[in-house]
């Protein structure tokens, strides 16, 4: 009985140890969970709604005053709604080209929610939908990268969780590219 309890404890600890937030500081990404460790939905049902989150991970600042981020969607999907986490957010861009200012700052955390995006998956043949995250047009800093607005009006370019290829996807044949820290090298380093 004691061995079973110890085994269960080890399994619970091992499971929670692999809940990975993007390990790099100051990253922005699209995820299908609030822990920022699931950028994909596999086996999505035809004509189902999937909730995607635009988040920043491991910010090096305490408060966020706004952001700029855009995304492109390829495949049989339709964005139904975009809801910003800050209730005083004002988007002067579009739904997929967000240029957002906050009336009051948002306190940051290891995973800070910026927006919730509801996506209707419109395929009955398991076609893939890919989302690529990028800067905005026009951009305050660089159209290749998202921007965050910090205290005193400071604008800063921000890193992407997936700089090459899709940031998130539904029924993707090729997986979203992971950083080296969350692949086999990262797991091997746990046992050194």
- pLDDT, one tens digit per residue, over 143-169 is 889 999 999 999 998 988 887 789 999
Give the whole-angstrom CA distance, residue 21 versus residue 33: 11
As a whole number of Å, the end-to-end CA separation of the chain is: 31
The pLDDT of residue 140 is: 87
Give the whole-angstrom CA distance, residue 162 versus residue 23: 12
Instruction: Give CA torsion, residues 12, 171, 33, 189, to 10 deg.
Output: 50
The pLDDT of residue 22 is: 73
Residue 66: pLDDT band (50, 70, 90) is very high
Give the whole-angstrom CA distance, residue 78 versus residue 29: 19
Please tell me which residue, 188 or 68, carries the higher pLDDT value. Answer: 68
The arithmetic mean of pLDDT across residues 24-44, rounded, is 92
**71, 137 contact by CB (below 8 A):** no
Domain ranges of the chain: 24-189
The residue among 64, 90, 62, 91 whose CA lies nearest residue 154 is 64
Position 16 pLDDT exceeds 60: no
Task: Report helix, strand or coil for 2.
Answer: helix
**Domain 24-189 annotated CATH 2.60.40.680:** yes
What percent of the chain is modeled with pLDDT above 70? Answer: 79
């Amino acid at each position: 009985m004691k061995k079973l309890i110890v085994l269960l404890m080890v399994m619970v600890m091992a499971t929670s140890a692999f809940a990975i937030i993007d390990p790099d500081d100051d990253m922005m990404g699209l995820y299908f969970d609030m822990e920022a460790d699931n950028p994909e939905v596999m086996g999505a049902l035809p004509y189902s709604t999937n909730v995607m989150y635009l988040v920043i991970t491991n910010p090096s600042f305490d408060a966020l005053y706004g952001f700029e981020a855009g995304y492109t969607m390829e495949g049989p999907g339709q964005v139904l709604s975009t809801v910003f986490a800050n209730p005083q957010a004002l988007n002067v861009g579009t739904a997929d080209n967000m240029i957002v200012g906050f009336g009051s700052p948002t306190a940051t955390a290891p995973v800070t929610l910026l927006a919730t995006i509801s996506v209707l998956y419109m395929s009955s043949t398991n076609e893939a939908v890919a989302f690529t995250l990028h800067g905005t047009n026009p951009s305050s800093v660089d159209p290749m990268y998202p921007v965050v607005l910090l205290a005193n009006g400071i604008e800063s370019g921000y890193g992407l969780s997936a700089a090459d290829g899709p940031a998130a996807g539904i029924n993707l044949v090729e997986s979203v590219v992971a950083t080296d820290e969350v692949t086999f090298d990262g797991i091997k380093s746990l046992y050194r």
